[in-house]
Amino acid sequence: MAVQDSDEPAWKTLVEMCQDRAAEQPDRKFFSFLENGVDETASLTPREVDLHARAVAAELQKHAPAGARVLLNYPPGLEFVTAFFGCLYAGMIAVPIPPVEAGRDGAKTGRLEAITSSAEPELFLSTASTLDRLGQSESVDKVLSGLVRVATDTISPDHAELWNEPVVDGDTVAYLQYSSGSTGVPKGVMLTHANVLDNLALIHKNGSRGDEEASETPPPVVLWLPLFHDMGLVNGILQPLFAGFEVTLMPPLAFVQHPYNWLRAISDRGTAISVAPNFAYELCVRRITEEQIKTLDLSGWRLAAVGAEPVRPETLERFCEVFGPVGFHREAFFPCYGLAESTVMVSGGPAFDPPVIHTFDAHDLAAGRVRPAKEGSRTRTLVGCGQIQSSLTLRLVDPVTGELCADDEIGEIYVSGSSVGSGYWNAPQVTEETFRARLPQASGRDFLRTGDLGFMYDGQLFITGRRKDVIILDGLNYYPHDVEASVSGSHPALRDDRACAFSVDDGGQEKLVVLVEIQRRHRILRGGAPEDRAAPNAVKASDVEAAVRRAVTADHGVRVADVVLLRPGTLPYTSSAKIKRAECRDRYAAGQFTADHLA
């Protein structure tokens, strides 16, 4: 069964989708894995996915009933694929989680405890080697007490014959997508089979050229994103089976340590699609050498989606400048916007057009108004994050009054449609507040309050920031990621993209605080003997702090009240590399950035 050329998905459940692919293209290699980012070490066909999923499901059905929550804790690899579908085939609810780390300093179980407390799972799936390693940790053993632990890589395919097909329909919850926890305690979004299939159709339509022949094979996808993350799960596992394209996966570390691996894999495949956050494109510009660039041919990179974090026009320009000579086309860039509460995608495209970039008056934006830049004024350049398809309804709402915004006003983004999840698991009050918003102009329709602020302009959705993170100074709104971008690069001693900006109340007014990490090779001086100042890579703290203040004032017209210089690795980040601003603010207010943390 092919993907239908309409807004209606061709399948009613993800199980049906997988089974149909196994019947139609049983031996086509859909999934490949490059363990070191270069060499293929594993692969899967739809027949193998279906067979192993039935075997896993049969084993799970021995231990828990349909509807049970199942934690999936896997290192990078293809075992996650068959385990995930095994949960769906069993009629159970998959709960992907980041791999639990158990190093020399003991296991870090905070996130595992939070998710376990919320999801109340009955099973914990992983590989045999991972379960053996985690079994040696008393803290992990305590959190997982009472859960049945299953090593799915030891389950024989013969178990597939024991599978009992459960009753599953579009309204059945397929999986819980837990948030990264960047703005608080992780919450599990309930996504039904129908939610996910609707969003897969939306992604396919937004990313489609519109003139492909029905028989045309889509380009393969190359992806390094973690599979427990919404972008990795949807684009790396579900979308390939939905749209009928192959995918090459590699571990996130294979990219982070050697960004060249990502672009080389794209180049080697001739034509390709890929998805990544803004920082990934920036990392390629900074870390891939001229010699490596000369070996690439990126002329076949059809779609380079950018999402999951603010899309920066400077990054797009730099990437085009560096990789244009080896064939990369500006039209390949596909800025998009989405969130787990709406499966993954809300807006994107049109595909194969250059990114929509506009420059606005910065003071007006800070005041919540949208005006084109005036000559001589301070400006802010933003990238459009795509169009809104008819299958979704989007409204911009004043977050204080609840009234619809005028066309030239910034508001909170409200979304309604079949891609929107049914709520947060085991959290009725937050579900009501987030997923059940009502507007007088759309009676009877529930809206998702995204918590993101933005506006529509030139047919595109522009994102200005997170409502919870907005810094309000003298009645004007400033967005921390913009301030952090100004800080990055303001002095050679600072680490790129390792800053956090927020405001605190000093008892009389809000003041702006910037935390920023120092590069390892630099030594920060706070006074000291004259001979210390001659040491290699020594810089005065006052010089660095002054550079930060100048950059922020020049770009945003505001004063930084406090600049805190930190050792590398001090700032807290989520598993998806998002800064935990709320935690930073709380720790700063509690005086927890002590001398042990300072550069």
Q: What DSSP line would sit under 395-457, residue for residue?
A: EEE-TTT-PBPPTTB-EEEEEEETTS-SEETT-HHHHHHHH-B--GGGTT--BEEEEEEEEEE
- Cβ(218)–Cβ(243) below 8 Å: yes
pLDDT (mean) for 396-408? 91
pLDDT digits (tens, 9 = 90+) for 34-54: 999 999 999 999 999 999 999
Strand partners, 598: 566
The helix (H) or strand (E) run that includes residue 496 is: strand 494-505
Q: What is the CATH number of domain 357-467?
A: 2.30.38.10
Q: What is the pLDDT of residues 296-349, one digit of tens each?
A: 999 999 999 998 788 899 999 999 999 999 999 999 999 999 999 999 999 998
Location of structure tokens 């595992």: 112
Q: Is the pLDDT of residue 214 over 70?
A: no
- CATH classification for the domain delimited by 14-257, as one of 3.20.20.140, 3.40.50.970, 3.40.50.12780, 3.20.20.70: 3.40.50.12780
Say what the pLDDT of residue 1 is.
38
Burial 46-72 (b: 16+ CB within 10 A, else e): bbbbbbbbbbbbbbbbebbeeebbbbb
CB neighbours (10 Å) of residue 298? 19
With a cut of 90, say whether residue 581 has pLDDT above it: no
The Cβ of residue 88 has, within 10 Å, a number of other Cβ atoms equal to 25
SS3 185: coil
The residue to which tokens 């980040």 are assigned: 573
Helix, coil or strand: residue 266? helix
pLDDT at 200: 95
Q: Alpha helix (H) ranges present in 180-229?
A: 193-206
**CATH code for residues 471-589:** 3.30.300.30
What's the pLDDT tens digit per position in 142-194? 899 989 999 999 999 999 999 999 999 999 999 999 976 545 578 999 999 99
DSSP 354-381: ---EEEEEHHHHHTTB--BPPTTS-EEE
At 196, the pLDDT band (50, 70, 90 cuts) reads very high
Helices 79-89 and 46-61, interaxial angle, to 10°?
60
Closest Cα partner for 497 from 427, 571, 429?
Answer: 571
Contact indicator for 509, 502 with CB cutoff of 8 Å = no
Question: Please, what is the average pLDDT of the chain?
Answer: 88
Contacts (Cβ under 8 Å, ≥6 apart) of 594: none
Q: Is the entire prediction scored with pTM above 0.95?
A: no
What is the C-alpha to C-alpha distance for residues 364 and 370, in angstroms, rounded to an integer?
Answer: 6
Q: Mean of the pLDDT values across residues 72-81?
A: 96
pLDDT-based confidence at residue 4 (cuts at 50, 70, 90): very low
Structure tokens at 580: 């935990």
For residue 584, which phi and psi values (nearest 5 degrees)? -60, -45
Same fold, 14-257 and 471-589: no
Going through 99-233 in order, the beta strands assigned E by DSSP cover: 102-103, 106-107, 123-126, 148-151, 173-178, 188-192, 221-223
CA 214 vs CA 10, 12, 237: distances in Å:
14, 21, 22
Is pLDDT of 6 > 50?
Answer: no
Tell me which residue of 309, 574, 575 sits closest to 583, measured CA to CA: 574
> What share of the chain in percent tops pLDDT 90?
60
Q: What percentage of the chain reaches a pLDDT higher than 70?
A: 91
- pLDDT for 597 equals 58
Q: Quick one: pLDDT at residue 210?
A: 52
Q: How far apart are CA 4 and CA 204, in angstroms?
A: 10
pLDDT at 2: 42
Domain parsing of the chain, residue ranges: 14-257, 357-467, 471-589
pLDDT reported for residue 184: 57
Highest mean pLDDT among 98-112, 461-475, 524-538 belongs to: 461-475
Residue/partner pairs of 171-175 with CB below 8 Å, 24 or more apart: 172/13, 172/91, 173/67, 173/93, 173/422, 174/13, 174/14, 174/88, 174/93, 174/94, 175/84, 175/87, 175/88, 175/93, 175/94, 175/95, 175/96, 175/233
So what's the pLDDT on residue 526?
72
